[in-house]
Chain A
Amino acid sequence: MGDDTWVQLFPHHFKKAYPYPSFNVKDLHTVDNGCIEHLLPSLYEEDWDVLIAHFLGVDHAGHILGVDSLPMIEKLEQYNGILEKVIDVLGSQSGQGGLHENTFLLVMGDHGQTINGDHGGGSAEEVETSIFAMGFKKSPTSIPSEFDTSSCEINLDQKNTCISTIQQLDFAVTVSALLGVPFPFGSIGRVSPELYALGAGTWNLESTNGDNSQNHSKEEEWMQNYCNVLCINSWQVKRYIDVYSASSVIGFSLKDLSYISDIYAQAEEIGSCSFKNSLLYNESSNSLLPALRRQIDTYFNFLLSVAELARSKWTEFNLQMMAVGLGILFFSLLIHFLAIKRITNPYGISLFPSGDSEVSIRLIIAYSVVVIRACSFLSNSYILGEGKVAIFLLATTAIFKLRYSVKRKMMLIEAIIFLLLIIILRFTIEVGLSKQAMTSQFMSAHSSWMLEIALGHPIWIHIAEIIPILALMLLAYLLYMTMISSSSWGICKYAVLGTSLCYILIAVHWASESTIWSSVPMLQGIGKNSIPRIVPRIIYVMGLGQLLLLVFGQLFNKERALNSKKSLVIKTVAMLSAYSSTVIILSGKQGPLIALASITGGYCIMRLDNIEQDPKDNTAGALTFDPLSVTQWSLLATCLFFSTGHWCAFDGVRYGAAFIGFDEFVLVRQAFLLTIETFGFSHILPVFGLPFLAARQYLMGQTEQDGKLLFLQLSQIYLMYGFITATTVTATIICVTVHRRHLMVWGLFAPKFVFDVAGSVLTDILICLAWLYYLGREDGTKLSTQ
């Protein structure tokens, strides 16, 4: 009776259940009154073996009103009164043959409280709680003194009270031993001697063996009994450790395991469970106490060693390794910073051009935005709403760029389009957040009004099917326009043509799944089963082929391109298009729309790049430096991650995407596809698209520039992007280290850590690959002549 969580956890286990709703933290009395109503009458009934009464008022009073408040004191007094009544009832029925002759009463808390009434952390007052145990049959003697671990003191009423402790780890197995049920498989506790001794039934176990039980004292009998129980306990723990070590990926070290096995073997040598002892029993009438004590001590040794080993492996963090990892990250940040400085300064025409203060303002804003985002990981609410934080910061930078564009009186349209795009992205992120809230235990679900609109009229369904296909057509058209705008495409032309073909195939694939296709009687039979399998595989193969084509084309391209920037743009477009078809088909129907959004966003960022700088000051050969654009690029990539309906938790991965085109599960292949789907729009495409920022001036129609300068500009941009990613990852790691004992560490902070680190490793690999691909042919000869 009491908290309804019991019934939710164990729906079919209770013969009678009286659950009461427990979520309303302001309600102190419903659950308790329900308990009281049923508790005392149940004590007179015969039909139960275990009775659980879970009172909740104290917990709620602590949370809401505080530890010292009046309602808390009243609650405690109320419980005191109930306890007295229960003990009266049980005591009156505990005589020989009474209803409660063998009843054992346990009163305890499931956790403690801090001074604020909260719990969930790891402080002593939260994890320590009290337990009151009472056996109603009088035990023959008290527990043997060597097992008594209590510490005594004189309390306020001048009475001597002795309190001992028991680990929560030992609770399950002790109660199982008292009840006589099998010990839980995964428990690694030991049967607590003090609680076990309280159970009077444990003292009389041997009394049925008529003949020679009188020879040995009651104490010896009990110790015999306890020794048997410990033997079973040790066997159970050993079995668990063996099974765990055999089946776990990272188990205990061999040294530890052999140490434990040695102790167990030692214990077994001395004597095994009851069978052998009863032989000893018959042989000699000498006191068995010393032998028993030795055996019990060995068992204790074994069980305590296992518990200690488990604690050190499973609950303690290796702070040394954490410090080493953090040190490596800080070192890498330093190297990034020095490299950026070295690139910017020696050719240092432009770190502080005429607009001295303006560059430093942009620098400050860019770094502040990155630092603010990094610091936001320290709070769990900001991590849960990470998409909103990213959009907030991106909009802030966009407003700054708008101000600059108003100042220079150019690119106004691009600035406004960027803000409109941000508003659209913000709504898609909110849709994603409401999906996350539905399954998350930390977020409350407010259903998005947009989802309510979306599910409804059939016309919306048709529109929702046509729009992605139209978007694909638009993408193909844009590719075509880019292609015909220049003539020196070379081998990249084939890659781009391949992508257009892929888009058509994707459109066919989605059209075949739509309701319109199945409503046309002619097309109904065609390709219902085969298209969903064939088309994705063709696209994956083509994507791979395009990549190989581009890479080998790069390797064997003997001619120096006439115009380095032009060739860079062409290579970028080709590379992006090679990836895009795979990413789009894996992302589903939202893919082309997100692709269009990212193209628009990237275009606006590129156009607004370096807008602060007066064009007249831009002498030929100047290395421009706009950290704000790179920051915007990185923030846009983050926002795209959340816009595609992902979030940094394991239920935020769209597992269905791994099976597009395949029905069976092959680990490597499916994992590869899943990685591309999760990180496609947020890591792969942004990293390969960064050269657009460097090649900005080509697209603006300005004069051609030296290949060397392009090399430096691109390197600078990649280094800045890597620096931003490294900063956010370092912040995540610091935050996880600080919060390692937080309530939500495994539900929230650790998954975020995993995603961030995976994304960062992927970003670094991609930056290296992209750098090699785009600049690998720029040999150092031009540099060395300088």
Chain B
Amino acid sequence: MSASAVFVLDLKGKVLICRNYKGDVDMVEIDHFLPLLMQQEEEGLICPVMSHGNVHFLWIKHNNLYLVATTNKNSNASLVYSFLYKLVEVFTEYFKELEEESIQDNFVVVYELLDELMDFGFPQTTDSKILQEYITQEGAKLEVAKSKVPTTVTNAVSWRSEGIKYKKNEVFIDVIESINVLVNANGSVMSSDIVGSIKLKTMLSGMPELRLGLNDRVLFALTGRDKGKTVAMEDVKFHQCVRLSRFESDRTISFIPPDGESELMSYRINTHVKPLIWIESVIEKFSHSRVEIMVKAKGQFKKQSVANNVEVRVPVPSDADSPKFKTSTGHAKYVPEKNLVVWTIKSFPGGKEYLMRAHFGLPSVENDEMEGKPPITVNFEIPYFTVSGIQVRYMKIIEKSGYQALPWVRYITQSGDYQLRTNA
């Protein structure tokens, strides 16, 4: 059904730690993994699934590690990758940073976790908050308090323990919208969408029952109601705490929140939005002599709003040298290791337009390697503003002890995958 065994390898293919779950795949098969990968890399055709004989390797890479699952069955591949990413998440929560050193430094806990996360190829409890209740790093002696399985493990509410206490009951709600844009070299917007996310930081006692209300402007596409000025959500994804069947029937987002930070929901909106920061560029390459770059950035959002930490990243040929810049605002920097000019503008009010010129020398001996045409990318964030107009209307918090709790809401719009192709 899923993984037969899970391996954590270093970049040289050495097994750092592994766990054999089913015993139907010889553990030495993993020796074929790296040679296979090297071969694929050489051919330029890497693929997240590789096979050797009747053994299949499903792998991901994280920092300086490969996480590899083996199987010889028709496994559920999406489950395996989800699980491997979950491993990364759990280990990161435990060790701050998942890398070769942290695995070695914590191998006992890693073994314990591997034992608890999956049984016979079936993923089990993978919520790190719950795991931390009974698998601890202290390696302490068996205490009476820890001798019990947290009921949470098998509870219907498997993401929240009972008996949580806070002096001050608060919920912080972050509404974050990322703008993905792909613009063609001739300036037409090929695709644009908004990926939104509502994140919670819950500091509430007990087992509170929450209900989230959003403004009417944001309708869920699924209702089919269409009222002129609405923004239809293309697809909504919820944290497992949200009662999906309830949402399906009456659109209510009701849930018992996990403690601490979590992503409550994410959504995607497909409407064509004007790219918030518009870039026009002219890149002229004079072979053997110079490259001249002119970039114009325009803020296409409300005048009252300000985009912060704007970074316009303009690609330059890898053999360019002796950079010269001129900017109307902000400052430009050459980052040779990435073959980029990064133009930073700390604060960029809506409606404003700025200009940057760059000049590079090119060597007389040409680099014969073909270079790609990387796009210009832009990073920014605009606080107190959402493109979709989504707003939190209310957050009802009901706990049987009857405490008063305060919800705090923040809005932010930021760049996601924001690419503008160039003519160069």
A, B bound: no
B residues contacting A by CB (< 8 A) are none
A residues contacting B by CB (< 8 A) are none
